[in-house]
């Protein structure tokens, strides 16, 4: 932590450099960032994002974060729901050194095993994790709304943040042949190449809509359990409307071939949809966090909270703040829906 991530990033940069020498060129700008002072409050990445917020808000397609690249053999990925299908596609094209199957197949097998003894057995969708905080994706996603992914190979990591977290430990115990470092670099490199070269940005907001509905249903149950007189019918409708609009939009994208002039408009729409979840006023008690759907829980450390302002108001049984937060969440979902409807016929 974080040298395994740095080494993987350098390998991705080296590989892309070799491709450049052979004539390959990305269609979109690729920026490699190595951030100072992460342990002191994400200072490096936060200052850079704040300094470049206007340019990033207008143009940034995605942010791919790797902090600890390897501390085990199990691949894990978290991010926004719109990038889930994209992540799955890349995972399906890289081989897992341990199983010989694809990274995606191994990941699904672990998901099934982990769900076998939980209430989520009936959930056939294998979702990537949600982003809370604790690494440098935080300012990109939660301050300015850049779609983000965070990934790495995970496992038991008893030397974390100790003097034993060293090259010697990695060479002898963590990843003796550096096989998993190379595999992570393949995944990361493929993601970079596809995001920088695919004519149509690989975002799918239909999954975002389905997840939003599930989140709202879960929050509604929490409100009842806390015996709050909170009417969330308008929020539920906003989530349902966004899901339906996103599904219809994605169906058209899957069905129709886009002319060059329409392609630019569609890509701008896909970029702006994630930005629609940003509220300039920010969340209650912590205005720097402006993403209405995702933030670290105010009392949960790094763990993600979904619709955080609303969830936290319900947990504290603050009915007036819960109503304000529900209205804020409803407005964000309506903005996202309106963004897709503005270009309803790609």
Please check the confidence at residue 103 and state whether its pLDDT lies above 80.
yes
Predicted confidence (pLDDT) at residue 100 exceeds the cutoff of 70: yes
pLDDT tens, position by position, 315-337: 999 999 999 999 999 999 999 99
> What pLDDT was estimated at residue 183?
99
Q: How confident is the model at residue 89 (pLDDT cuts 50, 70, 90)?
A: very high
Burial of residue 86, with CB atoms counted within 10 A of its CB: 0-12 exposed, 13-18 middle, 19 or more buried: buried
Spot the catalytic one: 11, 18, 38, 334.
38
* Tens digits of residue pLDDT in 51-77: 999 999 999 999 999 999 999 999 999
For residue 122, what pLDDT band results from cuts at 50, 70 and 90?
A: very low
What are the residue ranges spanned by the domains of the chain?
3-197, 205-342
Q: What is the pLDDT of residues 179-220, one digit of tens each?
A: 999 999 999 999 999 999 999 999 999 999 999 999 999 999
The CATH number of the domain covering residues in 3-197: 3.40.630.10
Question: What pLDDT sits at residue 125?
Answer: 66
pLDDT of 256 reads 79
Least confident of 82-91, 123-132, 247-256: 123-132
Amino acid 300: pLDDT: 83
Q: Flag whether pLDDT at 121 surpasses 60.
A: no
pLDDT at 308 over 80: yes
pLDDT value at residue 343? 66
The CATH number that domain 205-342 falls under is: 1.20.930.40
Task: Please give the mean pLDDT across all residues of the chain.
Answer: 93
Q: What is the pLDDT of residue 119?
A: 43
The mean pLDDT of 300-320, rounded to a whole number, is 94
Q: Is 38 a catalytic residue?
A: yes
């Amino acid at each position: 932590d974080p040298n395994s991530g740095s080494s993987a990033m350098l390998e991705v940069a080296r590989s892309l450099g070799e491709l450049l020498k052979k004539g390959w060129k990305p269609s979109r700008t690729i920026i490699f960032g190595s951030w100072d002072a992460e342990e002191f409050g994400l200072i490096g990445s936060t200052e850079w994002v704040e300094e470049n917020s206007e340019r990033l808000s207008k143009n940034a397609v995605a942010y791919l974060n790797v902090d600890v690249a390897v501390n085990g053999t199990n691949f894990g990925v978290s991010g926004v729901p719109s990038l889930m299908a994209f992540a799955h596609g890349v995972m399906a094209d890289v081989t897992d050194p341990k199983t010989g199957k694809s990274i995606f197949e191994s990941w699904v097998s672990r998901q099934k095993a982990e769900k076998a003894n939980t209430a989520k057995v009936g959930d056939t969708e294998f979702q990537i994790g949600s982003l809370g905080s604790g690494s440098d994706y935080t300012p990109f996603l939660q301050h300015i709304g850049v779609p983000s992914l965070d990934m790495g190979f995970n496992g038991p990591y008893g030397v974390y943040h100790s003097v034993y977290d060293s090259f010697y430990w990695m060479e002898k115990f963590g990843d003796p042949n550096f096989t998993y470092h190379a595999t992570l670099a393949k995944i990361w490199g493929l993601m970079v190449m596809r995001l920088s070269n695919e004519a149509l940005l690989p975002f799918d907001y239909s999954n975002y809509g389905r997840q939003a509905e599930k989140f709202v249903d879960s929050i509604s149950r929490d409100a009842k359990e806390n015996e709050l007189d909170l009417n969330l019918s308008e929020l539920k409708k906003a989530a349902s409307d966004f899901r339906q609009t996103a599904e219809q939009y994605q169906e058209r994208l899957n069905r129709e071939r886009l002319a060059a002039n329409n392609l630019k408009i569609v890509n701008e729409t896909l970029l702006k949809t994630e930005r629609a979840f940003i509220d300039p006023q920010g969340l209650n008690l912590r205005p720097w966090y402006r993403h209405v759907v995702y933030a670290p829980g105010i009392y949960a450390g790094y763990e993600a909270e979904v619709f955080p302002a609303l969830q936290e108001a319900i947990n504290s049984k603050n009915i007036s703040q819960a109503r304000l937060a529900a209205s804020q969440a409803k407005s964000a979902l309506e903005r996202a829906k309106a963004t897709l409807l503005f270009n309803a016929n790609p």
